[in-house]
Amino acid sequence: MLSYRHAFHAGNHADVLKHLVLVQLTRYLGRKDKAFWYIDSHAGAGSYALESAQAAKLAEYRQGIARLWGRKELPPAVADYVDLVRRINPGGGLKVYPGSPDFALWTMRAQDRMRLFELHSRDVLRLREHFASVGARVLVDHSDGFAGLKALLPPPCRRALVLIDPAYEEKHDYQRVIHALRDCLQRFPGGTYLLWYPQLTRLEAHDLPPRLKRLPASNWLHVALRVRTPDVDGFGMHGSGLFVINPPWTLQGTLQELMPWLVAVLGSDEGAGFTLESQAA
């Protein structure tokens, strides 16, 4: 599990989808004056240099954020997201890609708080350095995020967005996300939960969305972006999905307009497409 480094995949199509939705969620939570917490179970290293040896090895960002970078007349939600990426690239070139905590911090208010978990020993040091100047608003914990969630829920302010996006390198991660979300819903049923998962040919990935729908949550939204036809040899990630529990009422309408555009821009063959479904109490 600890061999995974997000630097190899930073800014890819999965990050585009995940961070577009993350920004929509934090923007919506910020509409009310009352504070909220952002909790990240697998926070990573903070930011990622796209010219580093890790990012350049696969250069996945070229099929993700790079396809949006030079475009004009972006859909409003995409423009908001790309403008935030530009914030960490003041020179105008695409050199650095921000991690999920950056997108959260940049869209939060002074009264909001962040709690970040990261288990990788090198990444947690970079994460702490990345947020060293922010102060007490951001706390970084070198521990297993699945276990750490139990101590934080419910938060004192009774409002929170929880992001869960493990590496899924090991099969038991698929079971752990189900257990984690079930436990979160027992402790804090009113929270907003954002779960990311990869679209792979392996059975565990295929079976995850139906299992998520059986969780004790009456309000959920499921969105997935497939960028290519799965390889016949089963190698690689051909898309990714997000399962949102207690989503804002605005999210489905935004994604209905956005997903066909993302398929057209990020898709690489005729197998590209999307899924968008929801359930409301």
Q: Is 45 exposed, middle or buried (0-12, 13-18, 19+ CB in 10 A)?
A: buried
Q: With 0-12 CB in 10 A as exposed, 13-18 as middle and 19+ as buried, what is 38?
A: buried
DSSP 93: S
239, burial (CB in 10 Å: exposed 0-12, middle 13-18, buried 19+): buried
Using CA atoms, how far apart are residues 245 and 182, in angstroms rounded to an integer? 11
- Could you give the CA distance from residue 204 to residue 196 in angstroms, rounded to a whole number? 14
- Left (φ > 0), alpha (ψ -120 to 50) or beta: where does 46 sit? left
- Strand duo 113-117 + 192-199: pairing: unpaired
Considering only CA atoms, which of 193, 208, 100 is closest in space to residue 152?
193
Which tokens in the block code for residue 1? Answer: 């599990």
Question: Would you please indicate which residues are annotated as catalytic (active-site) residues?
Answer: 165
> Which three-class secondary structure state does DSSP give residue 170?
coil
21, 23, 26, 31: CA torsion to nearest 10:
-110
